[in-house]
Amino acid sequence: MKVLIIGGGGREHAIAWKISQSPLVSKLYAAPGNAGIARVAECVGLSADDAVGLLAFAEERGIDLTVVGPETPLVAGIVDLFSARGLGIFGFGRAGARLEGSKVWAKEFMRRHGIPTAGFTVYDDAGAALASIERAAPPFVMKADGLAAGKGVIIAKTHEEAREAVSLVMLKKEFGAAGNRLVVEEFLEGPEVSILSVFDGSTYRLFAPSQDHKRALDGDRGPNTGGMGAYAPVPALSPDMLERIRGAIIEPTFAGMRSDGIAGAGVLYFGLMLAADGPKVLEYNCRFGDPETQAVLPLFDGDLCETIRAATRGELDRAAFATSSLAAACVVVASGGYPGPYRAGLEIAGLDEAERRGCVVFHAGTAFRDGAIVTSGGRVLGVTAVAPDLGAAIGQAYRGVEAITFEGAFSRGDIGARALAGNGRKEKA
């Protein structure tokens, strides 16, 4: 099979790394890819948002299966475009992608189908939002309606912070059109869990549960980022709780999608809070999570290409699907200043040494320049280790991180620390 992966981040490197192991694959392409993906696939100079160019490339090269990594092309309808031309593609169409593309639509979907989530109010007007906030007691969870690269959620612990959030999202348009509408939710507390699933329109399968770390700094301090690390599985998630989540959230979600006429195959990400009164949905994503994928796929014992192909044919129940009993940890190495302004083009050293220390280094923001690998993004690398237990995986991942250097590089030093301490609790983010 000829396979095309759309995207060029750490998530796409993990997908390419796993798919490249399949005996079904004769040729693997990535658009645009990055310096790490280039080790397992031929990188193509096409943007992930260039749907027309990607379609032409797939037709010209006879691509058998396209796998969409990022959310933006999914929300824009690339799957609908490819499907209309009879091309095999994995990912939800525009209808399914609304679960991530619009926080308002997703919350209304949950309300419509009785899926537990935080109480919420939607505002189209900044003045109305401000007036309502003054009458309520903080903390508040403020969410831009549309896509905001994982940074459109603000935890406001005071009225002043809430006012600033309304201004940032709705008046200053920090996230562009994504801030035309604002969702204000009740604040929930408890361990967070991410569950990635494959859905073929009828059947679903679950990958190992994981937990990510959104804040930039140790102790869940600092601004929200796209994710500074992840680990899997999650000690705080007992088998009984997982079954409760299946019954209360996962199966009603897929039943709701079917009843709403959302067809096709893709990955649905459940961002969950294990609150005191039961599990609740924080968010849906319509694709593999980032950086959760970098921790989850190394634990997947199946053939990812076979699984994805089966899902696109509505035959997921025929594909072998197994999860390792091992544990994995991924630590993100980021550019100084991220998630704010940062420098690019900085030469990276120590990649081979990190791998000699037993890690897989997934590239998120890298490029080639004059024969060297340099930084090209805020999140630069995801250093992943797999071991018999979580403590060993975390320790090994950090040994890999210690081998890598570039000017301004930083990472959190506490990925998975709370899980090892026995509670797995995070501030909602």
pLDDT tens per residue, range 49-58: 999 999 999 9
- DSSP summary character for residue 102: -
- DSSP summary character for residue 422: T
Helix (H) or strand (E) holding 255: helix 251-259
Express as a percent the part of the chain with pLDDT over 70.
Answer: 98
- Distance from the first to the final alpha carbon of the chain: 40
**Residue 105 covered by a domain:** no
- The confidence band for 216, taking pLDDT boundaries of 50, 70 and 90, is very high
Residues 288 and 368 in one domain: yes
| CB-count burial class (<10 Å; 0-12, 13-18, 19+) for 322 | exposed
CATH classification of the domain holding 85 = 3.40.50.20
Give CA–CA dist 383/398, Å, rounded: 8
Taking residues 391-410, what's their average pLDDT?
98
- The confidence band for 149, taking pLDDT boundaries of 50, 70 and 90, is confident
Structure confidence at residue 114 (pLDDT): 97
Strands (E), 289-326: none
Is the pLDDT score of 423 beyond 70? no
Q: Which residue shows structure tokens 């192991």?
A: 21
**Residue 106 covered by a domain:** no
**Residue 102 covered by a domain:** no
Give CA–CA dist 287/266, Å, rounded: 7
Instruction: Return the structure tokens found at 29.
Output: 């392409």
- Cα distances from 226 to residues 71, 122, 151, 175, 338, in angstroms, run 13, 24, 6, 14, 10
Is the pLDDT score of 43 beyond 90? yes
Counting every residue, how long is the chain? 429
Residues 158 and 57 in one domain: no
CATH classification of the domain holding 206 = 3.30.470.20
Is the pLDDT score of 256 beyond 80? yes
Is the pLDDT score of 201 beyond 90? yes
Residues 420 and 305 in one domain: yes
User: Which residues constitute the domain of residue 144?
Assistant: 125-180
Residues 49 and 159 in one domain: no
Whether 201 contacts 264, CB under 8 Å: yes
191 cis-preceded (ω within 30 degrees of 0) = no
* 3-state DSSP assignment of residue 177: helix
**Residue 109 covered by a domain:** no
Residue that finishes a domain, picked among 73, 91, 109 = 91
List % helix, strand, coil for the chain (3-state, nearest 5).
35, 30, 40
As beta bridge partners, residue 333 has 381
Taking residues 25-30, what's their average pLDDT?
98
Cα-Cα-Cα-Cα dihedral of 63, 69, 70, 72, to 10°? 40
Residues 209 and 81 in one domain: no
Residues 160 and 234 in one domain: no
Whether 213 contacts 188, CB under 8 Å: no
Whether 427 contacts 281, CB under 8 Å: no
**Residue 107 covered by a domain:** no
Note the pTM of the prediction, 2 decimals: 0.94
Look over the chain and give the mean of its residue pLDDT values, rounded to a whole number: 95
Residues 267 and 399 in one domain: yes
